[in-house]
Amino acid sequence: MKCRFLIAAALAASVAVPATATELEVTHWWTSGGEAAAVAEFAKAFNAGGDTWIDGAIAGSGGVARPIIVSRIIGGEPMGATQLNHGRQAEELIEAGLMTDLTDLAVKEGWADFVNPTSLLDACTVDGRIYCAPVNIHSWQWIWLSHAAYEKAGVPVPTNWDEFTASAPALRAVGVVPLAMGQQSWQTSGAFGVLTVALAGPEVWLKVVKDKDVDTVMGPAYTAVFEAFGAARQLSDGADIQDWNQATNMVITGQAGGQIMGDWAQGEFQVANQVAGEDYTCLPGLGVNKIISTGGDAFYFPLVDDADIKAAQLRMASQLMSKEVQVAFNLKKGSLPIRGDVDLSSANDCMKQGLEILASGNILPDGNQHLSPDTNTQLEDLMVEFWNDKSITPAEVQKGYASIIADAD
Ligand code: BGC
């Protein structure tokens, strides 16, 4: 009896049940297998705290979800919490006074002391106030390669971009598509960014993305990248797919040699029980320059009048940043945690490479930390058109790119 009482008391002490358990609708675009497994960790933790996570997943990736999320908030139908990329996506909502200021919580919990790199918190900060809880670091700078595909072709798994393009004919000869690329516009635009960082170098890329320097877009380093990207277009012929995770699936099943994609692709390999280094290889910086970008996801909380919801929003924000939730979520998501003081010894080889690069400091901001959502959309539309229409020349797309950057804010 006494023992049972003690166990019950210990349990009650470990689960701080909120005074008013609250339902919170949470919107996000995590709908692939790996993403769903990861976000379930957030829901599990929130529910274990006594509140209820009402899942508001929006299918079709960020490009589809973000306008829906933003228009609901502007239109007065806010959700309790939402995923966005940390960066400029919530800027207008914050300026319009529609988002909850998390500064007091952040100061109380000392976020600035453990968030690493500090740029993640900067990306949540507007006019000195913190409006989001960063939950991970996702990097775009990777190519994922299928061991089964290269084995079938009888050639070694490439170790860099040049070897990758050189191996394409061998893959074609055995019916394998060299490069899996889905049709959503952000995929082609993202891949172009990765190729730019690898071939032209991070400083050149930053001159365009950060300083909006049109001369750099028209200069020789970018010319070479537009040409390389133009030549790569034929590598995805035969990949008749839309979604990024369908492209990852082509790599997993050996139907494609590789995919340029952010490290969220790792979640898909994981749910397919594939092992990094055995079934697939990941090359940061396309094997040219070991670098990662430090974008990712953050949770924002629309401002509401209801005091119970406000309190639940703060409970969620605090939990998302906690050590336990950071580890559980990021191990499934394939992303790196936002705090350096957690144990990630069970991370796979690719995550370990990411952690080492992060520690080395060879990092970049994410493009959408510098470009407005509007500029990003214009670049995405341009690059998907270029990818699909081989009659557009690299010189033509370069001019189009330069005129978007000239007007970028
Ligand atoms: C997000 C990732 C997500 C990916 C694909 C990115 O914008 O940061 O968390 O997995 O989109 O849906």
pLDDT, residue 16, reads 56
The verdict on the CB of residue 263 being under 6 Å from ligand 1 is no
For a pocket test of ligand 1, which of 136, 185, 248, 297 has the largest count of ligand atoms closer than 8 A to its C-beta? 297
Of all protein residues, whose CA lies closest to atom 3 belonging to ligand 1?
Answer: 264
Across the range 26-37, mean pLDDT stands at 97
The verdict on the CB of residue 401 being under 6 Å from ligand 1 is no
pLDDT at 274 over 60: yes
pLDDT per residue over 115-173, tens digit each?
Answer: 999 999 999 999 999 999 999 999 999 999 999 999 999 999 999 999 999 999 999 99
Helix axes 185-199, 62-74, angle to 10 degrees: 110
pLDDT at 2 over 70: no
Range of weakest confidence among 12-26, 107-121, 189-203, 308-322: 12-26
pLDDT, residue 5, reads 37
Range of weakest confidence among 159-173, 302-316, 342-356: 342-356
Is the distance from CB of 295 to CB of 369 less than 8 angstroms?
yes
Helix axes 307-320, 33-48, angle to 10 degrees: 120
The helix/strand/coil state of 200 is coil
Domain 2-137+295-360: give its CATH architecture. 3-Layer(aba) Sandwich (3.40)
What is the position in ligand 1's atom list of the atom closest to the CA of 267?
10
pTM (whole model) above 0.85? yes
pLDDT, residue 13, reads 42
The verdict on the CB of residue 85 being under 6 Å from ligand 1 is yes
Q: Domain limits of the chain? A: 2-137+295-360, 142-293+371-406
Residue type, 313: Q
Helix axes 62-74, 373-388, angle to 10 degrees: 150
The verdict on the CB of residue 29 being under 6 Å from ligand 1 is yes
pLDDT per residue over 230-245, tens digit each?
Answer: 999 999 999 999 999 9
Of all protein residues, whose CA lies closest to atom 2 belonging to ligand 1?
Answer: 264
Distance CA 49, CA 315 (A): 9
User: From ligand 1's centre to the CA of 331, what distance in Å?
Assistant: 15
Of 3.40.50.2020, 3.30.360.10, 3.40.190.10, 3.90.1150.10, the CATH number of 142-293+371-406 is 3.40.190.10
The helix/strand/coil state of 256 is strand
Distance CA 101, CA 130 (A): 6
Are 2-137+295-360 and 142-293+371-406 in the same CATH fold? yes
Alpha helices in 185-297 (DSSP H): 185-199, 202-209, 214-218, 220-232, 244-252, 265-271
The helix/strand/coil state of 66 is helix
pLDDT, residue 6, reads 41
Q: Which pLDDT band holds residue 20 (cuts at 50, 70, 90)?
A: confident
The verdict on the CB of residue 264 being under 6 Å from ligand 1 is yes
